[in-house]
């Protein structure tokens, strides 16, 4: 009874605090994400108060938060739109990997770590946070923007790449041979293809099973199916986020519309829990020794990620403001980066400082990223773009023969 009472007090206090911080952030015109993270640092490991009884509750809530963020993104698009966007964004995915994984690998080697640590840090700097990006798009009201499908295509390609990267990384960390690594990769590829084909071929059937006229049954059905598919995907070493996203893609028509309305409050609740938990499990005392290297790595890879999004949006024919919105929205790294670092440290195959570096790096990008995403909407930035466009018209680039 005592443990339950403490749990209720901690959960209630933290959720109430999140509500106050969310209201404060909207009053001052900022994203609530940095405030949620800082609250987690204050009340978590090494913080001022050190809430521990509620940690398991928030760990589960954080997992559900990421899953809900991704299924809600999937509900915005159809299977045909997904396939078309993935085909168009495939070159951007290649550029994304080169521009953002290589700096991480090079940085690890510069720090004197081995090639295994280089592979680990390459994954940490490569993948944007689907959860944070989804929250930013929602907060800024950009889900219907023309550049948003480009953002989602890059995220989906990255998440699919993780479905192949994580099994191989696990095999490398365990010292497994080529056969074990290949078997893990084959399972991952087969799982992704099965879920994707099911989403495209049987999406209408799945939607027909659920009724938009019964809100209670619809909420339970969509939420249950999403958690089931996400859990099976994670069990097979595939991203739970990919599974959730594809469930959203599979649901269409009135069912998708009503499911979005029903799931929105749940998404907001558990998304806040996700960012709070990220701070709760971070010990602030681990950050100062690696803060400068993490800051240097963050500056470089925030620039390369912005360039990635800019080039992807330009290739899709998006105008200049949308290109900047795409690039700056993709800046935050998050859940995958922490998972990768955790796998590496748990295996004992890399320097323990890598976990602290990854945590500081992710915190920097998650705190700075949502703020940078707002920059294209500011008047001074719009003025700079107009001046830049005027100069380009006055001095056009020469066309080669």
Reported confidence tier of residue 311, pLDDT bands at 50, 70, 90: very high
CA 222 to CA 341: how far, in whole Å?
32
Q: What is the pLDDT of residue 185?
A: 65
Q: What is the pLDDT of residue 238?
A: 64
Report pLDDT digits (tens) over 87-127.
776 787 888 989 999 999 999 999 888 888 898 999 999 98
Q: How far is CA 338 from CA 11, 316, 343, in A?
A: 23, 31, 9
Using N-to-C axis directions, what is the helix angle for 148-173 and 320-329, rounded to 10°? 30
Residue 236: other Cβ atoms inside 10 A: 18
Residue 27: other Cβ atoms inside 10 A: 8
Q: Which residue is listed with tokens 């499911």?
A: 259
Check pLDDT > 60 for residue 182: yes
Q: What is the pLDDT of residue 359?
A: 81
Average pLDDT over residues 167-175: 71
Check pLDDT > 80 for residue 49: no
Both tokens of 252, joined, read 């269409």
Both tokens of 43, joined, read 């009340």
Q: What is the pLDDT of residue 163?
A: 63
Average pLDDT over residues 260-268: 88
Q: What is the pLDDT of residue 401?
A: 41
CA dihedral 82, 304, 350, 356 (to 10 degrees): -100
Both tokens of 44, joined, read 């978590």
Check pLDDT > 70 for residue 245: yes
What does DSSP assign to residue 5?
H
Supply the mean pLDDT for the chain.
Answer: 81
Q: Picking from 32-36, 133-137, 189-193, 268-272, which range would have the lowest pLDDT averaged per residue?
A: 189-193
Q: How far is CA 159 from CA 73, 300, 324, 335, in A?
A: 14, 22, 22, 11
Average pLDDT over residues 11-38: 83
Q: What is the pLDDT of residue 140?
A: 85
At 63, is the secondary structure helix, strand, or coil?
A: helix
Q: What is the pLDDT of residue 32?
A: 79
Q: Which residue is listed with tokens 């521990």?
A: 52
Q: What is the pLDDT of residue 294?
A: 93
CATH number listed for the domain at residues 73-273+285-377: 1.20.1530.20
Residue with the bigger pLDDT between 30 and 401: it is 30
Check pLDDT > 90 for residue 342: no
Residue 113, C-beta contacts closer than 8 angstroms, at least 6 positions apart: 121, 350, 351, 354
Reported confidence tier of residue 388, pLDDT bands at 50, 70, 90: confident
pTM of the model as a whole? 0.71
Check pLDDT > 50 for residue 212: yes
CA 11 to CA 257: how far, in whole Å?
31
CA 166 to CA 237: how far, in whole Å?
7
Check pLDDT > 60 for residue 219: yes
CA 133 to CA 59: how far, in whole Å?
20
Check pLDDT > 80 for residue 400: no
């Amino acid at each position: 009874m005592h443990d339950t009472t403490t749990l209720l007090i901690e959960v209630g206090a933290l959720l109430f605090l999140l509500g106050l911080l969310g209201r404060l952030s909207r009053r001052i015109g900022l994203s609530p994400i940095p405030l949620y993270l800082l609250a987690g640092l204050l009340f978590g490991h090494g913080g001022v108060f050190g809430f521990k009884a509620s940690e398991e509750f928030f760990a589960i809530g954080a997992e559900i938060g990421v899953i809900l963020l991704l299924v809600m993104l999937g509900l915005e698009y159809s299977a045909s739109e997904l396939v078309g966007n993935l085909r168009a964004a495939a070159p951007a995915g290649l550029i994304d990997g080169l521009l953002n994984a290589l700096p991480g690998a090079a940085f690890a080697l510069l720090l004197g770590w081995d090639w295994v640590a280089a592979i680990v840090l390459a994954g940490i700097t490569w993948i944007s946070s689907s959860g944070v990006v989804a929250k930013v798009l929602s907060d800024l009201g950009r889900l219907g923007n023309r550049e948003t499908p480009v953002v989602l295509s890059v995220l989906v390609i990255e998440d699919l790449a993780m479905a192949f990267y994580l099994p191989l990384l696990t095999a490398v960390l365990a010292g497994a041979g080529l056969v074990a690594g290949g078997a893990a990769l084959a399972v991952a590829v087969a799982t992704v293809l099965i879920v994707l084909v099911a989403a495209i071929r049987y999406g209408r059937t799945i939607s027909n099973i659920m009724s938009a006229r019964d809100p209670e049954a619809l909420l339970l059905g969509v939420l249950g199916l999403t958690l089931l598919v996400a859990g099976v995907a994670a069990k097979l070493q595939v991203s739970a986020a990919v599974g959730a996203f594809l469930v959203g893609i599979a649901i269409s028509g009135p069912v998708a519309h009503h499911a979005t309305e029903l799931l929105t409050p749940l998404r907001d609740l558990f998304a806040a829990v996700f960012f709070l938990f990220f701070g709760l499990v971070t010990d602030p005392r681990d950050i100062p020794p690696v803060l400068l290297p993490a800051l240097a790595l963050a500056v470089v890879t925030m620039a390369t990620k912005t360039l990635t999004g800019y080039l992807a949006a330009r290739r899709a024919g998006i105008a200049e403001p949308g290109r900047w919105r795409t690039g700056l929205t993709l800046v935050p790294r998050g859940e995958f980066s922490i998972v990768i670092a955790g796998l590496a440290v748990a295996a004992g195959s890399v320097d323990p400082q890598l976990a602290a570096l990854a945590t500081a790096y992710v915190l920097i990008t998650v705190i700075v990223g949502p703020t940078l995403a707002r920059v294209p909407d500011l008047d001074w930035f719009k003025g700079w773009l107009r001046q830049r466009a005027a100069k380009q018209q006055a001095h056009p680039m020469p066309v080669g023969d």
